[in-house]
Amino acid sequence: MASSETYSAPEHAKVEEIPAAEHEKAVAAPPPEVKAPADRPPIGYCALAEVVLRFLLFASALVAVVVIVTSKQTIHHVPAKFNHSPAFIYFVAALSVAGLYSIITTLFSFYALLKPGCYPKVLSHFVIFDVVLLGIVSAATGTAGAVGYIGLKGNKHVGWKKICHVYDDFCRHVGASVFVSLFASIVLLFLVLLSVHSLSKKTTK
């Protein structure tokens, strides 16, 4: 222990023996270093909000998929399953893609939170996929919602009878899943607005 302390002491002493020219450089350097912390707080704040929103997106996409996939209900040997309707199959596919995408981007934005230097470039690429996914997830919500609504209320004009008074548990699952995916759409909306806000903030600076 004593020997390691005697080894470290000369190194510490060396660091303080900076030539005068280098010392002047160090004095001249501060302006950009002072500016960087002033710039960082809003970026860090936005990056933190982004990580939280992306995690929320992942959680809601996962919940929506799990809830609709586990909605099978059998009454008098006649089962009701999500894959009986192409609308629900599209819904599961869209939200699975959203879930997988959100895992990747959560990791990326968490990394960007730790190293804020590479942030703007990552941001402007993510926002493109965010916008595309917003379209896909909202369309999926609309699709599943429309089929669920016909199941709940029926349509007397064309003779489509309601099924939710029989398959109550199935319908409850579908309804919950649609609401969770509506939440996912809103999270995606906020993610896009957050990116636009960050970009326009940098533009006005």
Toward a copy of itself, which CB reaches closer, 65 or 144?
144
Q: How many whole angstroms separate alpha carbon 155 and alpha carbon 169?
A: 21
Toward a copy of itself, which CB reaches closer, 62 or 182?
182
Q: Which residues touch 147 (CB under 8 Å, ≥6 apart)?
A: 85, 87, 88
Binding site for a copy of itself (CB under 8 A): 80, 84-87, 120, 123-124, 127-128, 131-132, 134-136, 138-147, 149-151, 153, 155, 157-161, 163, 185, 189, 192-193, 195-196, 199-200, 202-204
Q: How far is the CB of 69 from a copy of itself (least distance, A)?
A: 17
Q: How far is the CB of 7 from a copy of itself (least distance, A)?
A: 47
Q: How far is the CB of 17 from a copy of itself (least distance, A)?
A: 41
Toward a copy of itself, which CB reaches closer, 28 or 38?
38
Dihedral sign for Cα 169, 73, 153, 64, please.
positive
Q: How far is the CB of 189 from a copy of itself (least distance, A)?
A: 6
**Residue 162, helix vs strand vs coil:** coil
φ and ψ at 70, to 5 degrees? -90, 25
Q: How many whole angstroms separate alpha carbon 99 and alpha carbon 1?
A: 52
How many CB atoms lie under 10 A from the CB of residue 196?
12
Toward a copy of itself, which CB reaches closer, 24 or 169?
169
